[in-house]
């Protein structure tokens, strides 16, 4: 990503779609992913290798991964809940896989039906599998530290626990860890502290991305704080779809359109063409007529005379 300053990783097709009741048809998913790649988005998390019984919305993930791989220049990411999921992701050809490890063990048991020790066992097996692959077929493997900023079941999550699990994931062979504000509890000060603590433990190159939600409206404030610390990858979802089951009316992930606007206006290169990105919304709206789309920039439109690349900082 040498020609861009910030990698926006679109997670709507996974995080967004898994959180809503509507099932997006496979062809619409393909059109969405293609349109976003055409708009310049370099990485998209296109699905999750969970049993279709649990998440029928994502039952076509293998097909979507295979399709997304045909789009030039796109890094294709997928979530894997366990070893079986990782096997399927490798078979489908994902470039990057993320296994979520919930720092709140109560949440881990509620969500994945696994203790920390059991999840770490899966990580160990996945690393063995990846190590057996030829280098050009080996996906990047991220351990996602979810509920890192607080949990709807446990409440406060100790920083020391987050750091300890980051250390264990790297020690077991994850290429990277990611910090996830699954519940939308994070604030900028807390986020900066946790980034620094994890860097001190595992090294700056082992944590380059954060996954933020906008549940309490702090998504962009947190994104900006992370950038100032030196984080270079930000997850977001088009239209902020997904919502939050615990906070009616709240958006899901930070909104890709608003994030891309902020970065572009600040003169940071993302590789994204804003006008094209805004047009992608129509595809999602048409395919999900019953779901709410969020975002301020799409509603307000781009400023008068807007031009890409630092419009907001030009004299």
d(CA 242, CA 163): 28
Q: Which of residues 88 and 182 has its CB atom nearest to Zn ion in the complex?
A: 182
Q: Hey, which residues does 237 pair with through a beta bridge?
A: 255
The residue with its CB nearest to Zn ion is 15
Piece in contact with Zn ion (CB under 5 A), picked from 12-20, 194-202, 279-287, 296-304:
12-20
Q: Which of residues 148 and 202 has its CB atom nearest to Zn ion in the complex?
A: 148
Contact flag: residue 10 with Zn ion (CB under 5 A): no
Q: Hey, which residues does 77 pair with through a beta bridge?
A: 45, 96
Q: Which of 165, 244, 263, 272 is catalytic?
A: 244
Alpha carbon separation from 197 to 19, 162, 200 (Å, rounded)? 31, 9, 5
d(CA 260, CA 278): 10
Find the shortest distance in angstroms from Cβ 220 to Zn ion. Answer: 16
DSSP string, 258-270: HHHHHHHHTT---
Q: Which of residues 36 and 264 has its CB atom nearest to Zn ion in the complex?
A: 36
Sequence-ordered alpha helix ranges (H) in the chain: 17-18, 26-38, 61-68, 83-92, 105-111, 116-131, 159-172, 188-202, 219-229, 256-265, 274-287, 296-300
Q: Which of residues 214 and 270 has its CB atom nearest to Zn ion in the complex?
A: 214
Find the shortest distance in angstroms from Cβ 32 to Zn ion. Answer: 18
Find the shortest distance in angstroms from Cβ 93 to Zn ion. Answer: 24
Q: Which of residues 15 and 176 has its CB atom nearest to Zn ion in the complex?
A: 15
Q: Hey, which residues does 97 pair with through a beta bridge?
A: 78, 141
Among 15, 142, 175, 291, binds Zn ion (CB under 5 A): 15
- Are 13 and 46 spatial neighbours (Cβ–Cβ below 8 Å)? yes
Answer yes or no: 151 catalytic.
Answer: no
Piece in contact with Zn ion (CB under 5 A), picked from 13-21, 62-70, 77-85, 120-128:
13-21
Residues in Cβ contact with 59 at an 8 Å cutoff, skipping those fewer than 6 apart:
52
Instruction: Compute how many residues bind Zn ion; rule: CB under 5 A.
Output: 1
Annotate each residue in 161-200 with x if it binds Zn ion (CB under 5 A) or - if it does not, as one string.
----------------------------------------
Chain residues in the site for Zn ion (CB under 5 A): 15
Catalytic residues: 244
């Amino acid at each position: 990503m040498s020609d861009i300053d910030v990698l926006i990783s679109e997670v709507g097709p996974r995080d967004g779609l898994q959180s809503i009741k509507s099932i997006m048809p496979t062809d619409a998913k393909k059109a969405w992913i293609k349109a976003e790649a055409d708009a310049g988005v370099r990485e998209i998390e296109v699905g999750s290798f969970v049993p279709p019984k649990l998440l029928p919305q994502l039952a076509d993930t293998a097909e979507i991964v295979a399709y997304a791989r045909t789009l030039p220049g796109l890094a294709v990411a997928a979530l894997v809940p366990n070893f079986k999921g990782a096997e399927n992701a490798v078979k489908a050809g994902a470039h990057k896989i993320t296994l979520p490890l919930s720092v709140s063990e109560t949440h881990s048991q509620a969500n994945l039906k696994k203790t920390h020790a059991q999840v770490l066992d899966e990580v160990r097996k996945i690393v063995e599998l990846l190590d057996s692959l030829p280098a050009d077929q080996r996906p990047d493997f991220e351990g996602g530290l979810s509920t890192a900023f607080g949990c709807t079941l446990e409440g406060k999550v100790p920083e020391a626990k987050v750091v300890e699990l980051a250390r264990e994931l790297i020690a077991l062979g994850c290429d990277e860890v990611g910090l996830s504000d699954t519940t939308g509890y994070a604030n900028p000060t807390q986020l900066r502290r946790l980034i620094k603590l994890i860097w001190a433990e595992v090294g700056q190159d082992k944590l380059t991305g954060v996954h933020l939600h906008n549940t309490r409206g702090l998504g962009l404030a947190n994104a900006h704080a992370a950038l100032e610390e030196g984080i270079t990858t930000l997850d977001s979802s088009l239209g902020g779809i997904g919502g939050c089951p615990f906070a009616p009316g709240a958006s899901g992930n930070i909104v890709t359109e608003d994030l891309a606007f902020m970065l572009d206006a600040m003169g940071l290169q993302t590789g994204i063409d804003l006008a094209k990105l805004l047009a992608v919304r129509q595809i999602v709206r048409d395919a999900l007529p019953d779901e709410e789309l969020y975002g301020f920039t799409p509603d307000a439109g781009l400023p008068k005379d807007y031009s890409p690349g630092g419009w907001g900082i030009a004299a």
